[in-house]
Structures are given as structure tokens and as C-alpha cells.
Structure 1
């Protein structure tokens, strides 16, 4: 099997060679594995993403998102219902709001994790540091303060695997169903709590956001959207930070620049990591009518996947795009999606990831790759560096 062949195995292992071939040969390609058209060039992705009337959100029950999160959810909704729901989600996630609480939310978690990790002198920085930071902080924002880190990590891994289960592996579905049962139970208890006593958690905002005073959304209304938030929110900041850290450690000259002045360079490195390996690689759409994109006819009602991960490596947009280069000329990437579905958590993710990278390079002296094993990544709809073997002077 060629590494360039369009199939689920190649995409899961490393989608970037496949995307490069598609951009050259078939920039809009139908993928039998998920029954959708993959749009892979930057300008085409931007065109599709900007036209919410022609390429609206997909609420199809046949999509993997329906199996994993349920429908309707914030990603599948449009119009006034979507706008009102976003008012609740976004209420405490604006840049101004995030600036007011992100230090108190993130810095203590990072401090605890690094205090435990630093004496060891080696670790898988993804599993031992960046994922625990991400799930603890976002779990607390959601209101899952009593849910263990290990549980939260298992939830998003099980959901991510379900979204990418092109081979219909029953073990993946069993793992997903176990996670979903736990999520339903814990979110049910959290829902009852915030209905009785409103608070500042994200769940409380989602339950009431955009509604007249005294009104609340039902549990079945908010559950699919909360699952979207759990899947994207728990993993994205941690994997974005891990991806950026991997890019730095694979390029020691850049790592030294960050180590010499972490506060000056951490945000730039984090943002380049988002471009280099988009944690959320695909966003789904559905065509409102027959349309032609890049010379390919797409019938009305078809599922279309905007492949942001491919767009972010389009050489017509980014010079030498497969290289991590935090000093490259800044150009907007597509990792946070498109309005009106632009990622609500973009400001919080950037702020959390920047703090995590700052502290890692401040507190782990002479941080470098562990040459005993290779950096490993997986996934395509969601992709992250899963094993980031590192050593430092303890």
C-alpha cells in the first residue's frame, strides 16, 4: 500500500503526504471512508468556510460526529438558535474575560505538574505534562472539578478514536460507549447542580446563555454541545502545546531561542505549532445546492470536509510549509475554523498554551529530545503528538 493512497490507515498514521498528493492531483476528492468530499487547498478551504449559506453546518445523522457527540450540537446548528447558544458559550471566553482569569486558572496547575515532573529528568511531555494541564484547566472551566485527570483524558481519547473509526472497529465503539455513559452521568449531575444554583462554569453559561431571565435549556438540548466542548476543549490546548514543543525540540536552534527568552517567544511558537500540526484537522459542512469547487462538481446535500490541516501546509500559502519555523512571516492559518463557527476557545487555548510553554522552557533546564525513541503522532480529524520523549538536567 502506498503511503500516498487515500485511506483511513494512511490518514490516521500521517495524513500530510496524502494531503500533498491531493492538493496537486485532486484538490477536492471524494473519500469513501467517510462519504465526504475533502477540500485540501488553502484558498478553496477559505472559500468554502466563508460561505455559510452554500456550505452550511452538517447535521446529518450519518456523520461520525452524530455517533460521537449527538445532534443537534453547536457545530451542526445555524441561524438564531446557533447565535443564542454561542452567547452562552462565549460569555466567559472572550479575550477580555480570558485575560482576567487565565493566570489564576492555569499557572497553579502548571506549577503543580512541573514540580512533580522536574526531578525525574525525563518524560513523555504529552501524556505526563501537556494533557494533564489541559484537561485539568478546561475540566475546571466546564465545572468538572471533581473528575480525575485520567478520566478526562480517557474521555477525549475515546471520542477522538470514535470520530476516526473508518474501519468500524467494534473495540473502538465499545470504548467510546463506556466513555459516553460516564460523560452522560457526570454532565447530568452537573446540569442539575447549575440549574438549581447558577454559577460561573461553562455548563451554567450554556444552560442559560441567550435566554430570557429564568429560562433554561433542557439537558438533552445542551448534552451534544457539551460533548463537542469536552472533545475539542479537553484535548486541543494540550495537543497544541505538545505539537509546538515537538516542533521546537526537533529544531534545537529554535528551542534555544525560546529557552533564552520564553516569555518573548512562547506565543509565536505556540501559534506556529497550531499551523504545523492542526489539533483539529477537519470541519464538516453540507452543500445547500449543486456546486463546483476547484473543477469538481459536488451535488446538493453532500458532506464536505474542510481540511484545515492540509490548508495550513499549502505551499501556495506558506513557504516550506512542512517545516516548523516560528520565525516565519506571520500569516493567518485556519486551525480555529471559520465564522460563525470559529472556535469559541481560541483565546483561552492560546493563553493556556503560551503559559505552559513558557514554564516548560523556564523550569526544565537544557530541555531536549530523548534519542532513545522517536517522536510519535497520530490522527487526522484530530491529530496530536502522542509521545514526546524529552530529557533535561534534573
Structure 2
């Protein structure tokens, strides 16, 4: 590929992966990326083929992958079979649709109100950093049990981890920042573990320790730490970035923003879901090939790392009409932002419910919400992608 914005390089992917993905879908739908030593699968149908075939494309537990460096192994994403199912039981105790409905308002609305109140009178803000990210971080932090940990502390964790996962250039400063965050995470999780060891409680930390285990048995801290890091990384940022992405899509389309403002409660969930398709917050999920496999004219050799590129699948022209456009009224078709079973995102009910509330209240309480014409909207990342600068104004 020529050296242009659509060439498959780490820099291009980080700045804006969508021109790269569009070209790959057309010219090389299964392409080897030297930067991460993995095969990118970029078309919707091919991603589903790989994602649904857990026997051949099982979870990747390779020690040389960035996930091993950032999260540790084994974790819920690298496990399979009985061990995986048992651990998921613990994670999902409070994350079923029914359980989420029973507490999501109580969890989310006061936090949303707190952050809306902080910006309401200013008439302008970066909605990602000042509203959606803080809401997500605080709510999920509280669910985990990190009620005493500041938002700034939690935000630093996931930024350091996300940068570590995308550190294709092997920047030592990124690794140092990651190591400092991981040490802090270990210390704080250790304290939560000690509390729940004395007496089980209703935190996600406690559920992961005891859930699915025989009576009187508990998982060790060492055993659950990698999985808790997965939950911290995905959980803290995903609902906030998904809401920011959806809000950016709405505000970039004044007609849809107007419709949304007229009845936020009626449209918020639809808008949030379209935001998930338009910019997948978690853009890639890794697998490893158990045997040679032919797909889209390419043989993926046994033992190879494979990246299911959900961010590309969600913009596949063969699946979605005008996929580059945000359109909350598009014909409903399933996207793949929450991954594939048996590794489908455990927190999808909570993420959608939180995102719906955050978007609804933003459009309800910030009158004439619009993009700031004097500032630039910015997004970054490819393994994790979000609108990180969402400059907005409203009538204060």
C-alpha cells in the first residue's frame, strides 16, 4: 500500500482507521499487519465467520500479545470452556437485563445530574472529558467497588492501559506510564479483595471472587486480577466513549439533533446504538487460529494471531447503507461492537442503559445543544476509538 492516509500503518490507524479499513475491505479483506503481527479481518461477513467459530478461532492467550502485557494472563477474554463459563457466572450476577433495570436509574441519574450541574451554567464544554467520560468512570468504578477512588485516578488507569495496547512503536514512556497505573490498580484491587474476603458484598469485585465457585471457595487475587483489569479497561471507558460518539454523530447532523432534542427519552437508546455502530469504542477483538483456515482468498496459517476488526465490519458497505453516515433512523441491523459469543460483552445491558440515560439528560438539560463552530471535533485510536474532543455549546 502506498504511503497515504489509507495505508496500513500504526500512525494511520491511530489517527483515523476508517480510510484504512475501507481500502482493506476492497483490496485485501484479510491482511497481515506487521505492526502487531496479526491478520486483520475487515469485512462484516468474514468477521462473523471468525467470531462465531470458537473451535478454530479461539481466544488468544499468547504471551507476546499487547493484551498479555497490559491485562495479564489468563483473563476472561483468553479463557474458554468450563473455566470461562464459571468465571462469567460471577461477572454477570448483577449484569443481566433484569438486574440492570432494577438499579441503573439509582446508579446513573444522580451521577449524570452531578456532572450536568457542573457544566450547565458555562454554556460550553468538551462533552467527552467533562460529561460522558466522568459519568461512565464514576458509575462503573462504583459498580466495581472503587467508590473511594477519584475520577481522575480511574481515568488515568484506562488511558494508560489503552495507550499500552496500541503502543506499536514500543515507546518506553508509554510502558512506564502503564506500569505505574498497573501498580496502583494492584494496590487498590488488593484492598477491595481483603474487604470482600472478610465478608462478601454486592460489588463486582466480590461477585468475581465468589460467583460460580463451590460453597466456601473463593478465587485468589492473582487469579482474578487479569480479568479485573479487562473490566477496568473496557468498563470504565466504553459506555462514556459510546455516548460521546453518539452525541458527536447527532450534533454533526443538525436535523437529527433537533429530533433528539424534541423528545430525548424516545430517541436516546436508538441514538446510542447507532453511535456504537458508527464508531465502535472497542474496535478489535483478538483470536488465534487453531488450524490453517481459508477466508476471503487468504490462508490464515495455524497458530497465527487474528484481529476481528469490529470497527471495520460496522462500516461494511455490503452490510450497511451509507455506513460512514451517522443515522439513528437507519433500518435496524445488528452491529458487532459488543463482540461475539461466548465472549460477547458481559456489560452490554448496563452500557446501553447508562448511555441512554446520559444522552437523554444531556439533550434534555442543555438547551439548543450544538457543536462549537470555533473548535475542532477530534477522535483517536483504533483498538479503542472515541471522540476525545467534543466541543459543544448550548443556551445557558
Shorter-chain-normalised TM-score: which range?
A: over 0.9
Residue of structure 2 equivalent to 1:244: 246
In the TM superposition, 1:341-352 aligns within 5 A as: 341-352=343-354
SS in 1 for 2:294: strand
Equivalent residue in structure 2 for 1:359, among 358, 361, 380 = 361
Q: List per-residue Cα deviations over 1:273-304 (Å, max 9, x = no partner).
A: 00000000000000111111111011111100
Tell me, in whole angstroms, the C-alpha distance in 2 between the residues paired with 1:215 and 1:201: 17
Cα distance in 1 for residues equivalent to 2:300 and 2:256: 43
Can you give the 5+ residue segments of structure 1 that lack an aligned partner in the other structure?
none
Structure 1: distance between partners of 2:65 and 2:218? 28
Per-residue CA deviation, residues 304-341 of structure 1 (Å, 9 max, x unaligned), is 00000000000000000000000100000000000000
Q: Hey, what does 1:268 align to over in structure 2?
A: 270
Alpha-carbon distance in structure 1 between the residues aligned to 2:144 and 2:374: 38
Match of 2:193 in 1: 191
Tell me which residue corresponds to 2:313. 311
1:10 counterpart = 2:15: no
Measured in 1, the distance between the counterparts of 2:153 and 2:280 equals 24
Aligned residue in 2 for 1:137: 139
Would you say 1:214 and 2:191 are equivalent positions?
no
Paired with 1:241 and 1:4, the residues of 2 have a C-alpha distance of: 27
SS at match of 1:150: helix
1:167 matched residue in structure 2: 169
Q: TM-score normalised to the size of structure 1?
A: 1.00
- Bigger mean CA deviation after superposition, 168-177 or 259-268: 168-177
Alignment of 1:96-107 (within 5 A): 96-107=98-109
CA distance in 2, matches of 1:143, 1:196: 15
What CA distance in whole angstroms lies between the structure 2 residues aligned with 1:130 and 1:196?
35
2:66 matches 1:64: yes
Mapped partners of 1:61, 1:375: distance in 2: 37
Partner of 2:118: 116
Deviation above 2 Å: which 4+ runs of structure 1? none
What is the root-mean-square deviation in Å for CA atoms of aligned residues?
Answer: 0.5
In the aligned structure 2, how far is the partner of 1:307 from the partner of 1:191?
Answer: 35
2:202 corresponds in structure 1 to 200
1:127 is matched with 129
State the secondary structure of the residue aligned to 1:304.
Answer: strand
Q: Distance in 1 between matches of 2:284 and 2:307?
A: 6
Select 1:85's aligned residue among 84, 87, 91: 87
SS in 2 for 1:61: coil
Pairing partner for 1:227 from 223, 226, 229: 229
Q: Which runs of 5+ in 2 are unaligned?
A: none
**Residue equivalent to 1:24:** 26
SS at match of 2:78: coil
2:379 is paired with a residue whose SS is: strand
Residue in 1 that maps onto 2:300: 298
Aligned positions of 1:250-261 closer than 5 A: 250-261=252-263
Match of residue 34, structure 1, among 33, 36, 40: 36
Displacement of 1:192: 0.8
Residue 76 (structure 2) aligns with: 74
d(CA) in 1 for partners of 2:93 and 2:297?
A: 41
Alpha-carbon distance in 1 for matches of 2:199, 2:109: 28
- Tell me the CA shift for residue 179 of structure 1: 0.6
SS in 1 for 2:55: coil
Q: Say if 2:45 is the partner of 1:43.
A: yes
Partners of 2:198 and 2:33 lie apart in 1 by: 47
What is the Cα deviation at residue 80 of structure 1? 0.5
Aligned residues: 394
| Distance in 1 separating the partners of 2:167 and 2:256 | 36
1:160-184 deviation digits (Å, cap 9, x = unpaired): 0000000111111111111111001
Distance of 2:382 and 2:91 partners within structure 1: 26
CA separation in 1, counterparts of 2:63 and 2:336?
Answer: 26
Counterparts of 2:295 and 2:92, CA distance in 1: 32
Per the alignment, in what secondary structure is the counterpart of residue 92 of structure 1?
Answer: coil
Post-superposition Cα deviations, 1:91-113, rounded to whole Å, max 9, x if no partner, equal 11000000000000000000111
Q: How many angstroms does 1:195 deviate by?
A: 1.1
> Displacement of 1:371 after TM fit?
1.0
Give the Cα–Cα distance (whole angstroms) in 2 for the partners of residues 212 and 150 of structure 1: 38
